[in-house]
Amino acid sequence: MGTSSATIEIVIDDEHIAGTFLSPQSKVPGILFVHGWGGSQERDLDRARGIAGLGCVCLTFDLRGHERGSERQKTVTREENLRDIISAYDTLAQHPAIDTNAIAVVGTSYGAYLSTILTTLRPVKWLSLRVPSLYRDAEWSVPKRQLNREDLAVYRGAPVTPEENRALAACAAFTGDVLIIESEHDHLVPHATIMSYRAAFRNSHSLTHRVVDGADHALSEKTSQQAYTSILVGWITEMVVGARVGSRPGIS
Nearest one of 109, 91, 130, 128 to 238, comparing CA atoms:
128
Name the burial class of residue 26, with classes exposed (0-12), middle (13-18) and buried (19+) by CB atoms within 10 angstroms of its CB: exposed
Backbone angles phi, psi at 196, to 5 degrees: -65, -45
Q: What confidence score (pLDDT) does residue 249 get?
A: 47
pLDDT tens, position by position, 81-134: 999 999 999 999 999 889 999 999 999 999 999 999 999 999 999 999 999 999
Question: Residue 61 in contact with residue 18, Cβ under 8 Å?
Answer: yes
Least Cα distance to 210 among 103, 128, 135 occurs for 128
Q: Measured between alpha carbons, how far is 103 from 83 in angstroms, rounded to an integer?
A: 18
Distances (CA, A) of 243 to 139, 166, 180, 236: 39, 29, 19, 10
Domain count, the chain: 1
Q: Which amino acid belongs to residue 54?
A: L
At how many degrees (to 10) do helices 222-245 and 42-52 cross?
40
Please tell me the predicted confidence (pLDDT) of residue 25: 60
Entry pTM: 0.86
Structure confidence at residue 113 (pLDDT)? 98
Distance CA 194, CA 196 (A): 5
Decide if 126 contacts 33 (C-beta within 8 A): no
- Comparison of pLDDT for 25 and 235, the residue scoring more: 235
Rounded to the nearest integer, the mean pLDDT of the chain is 91
Count the neighbouring beta carbons within 10 Å of the beta carbon of residue 91.
18
How many Å from the N-terminal Cα to the C-terminal Cα in the chain? 30
Asked if residue 250 belongs to a domain, the reply is: no
Q: Is residue 41 part of a domain?
A: yes
Instruction: Report the residue count for the chain.
Output: 252
Q: Would you say residue 134 lies in a domain?
A: yes
CATH number at residue 192: 3.40.50.1820
- 131 belongs to a structural domain: yes
Instruction: With CA atoms as reference, report the closest residue to 128 among 145, 110, 116.
Output: 116
Q: Does the residue 252 lie in any domain? A: no
Answer whether residue 186 is part of any domain: yes
pLDDT tens-digit map of 208-236: 999 999 999 999 999 999 999 999 999 99
Range of the domain at 213: 4-245
**Average pLDDT over every residue of 64-73:** 77
Place 248 in a pLDDT band, splitting at 50, 70 and 90.
very low
Beta partners for 102?
Answer: none
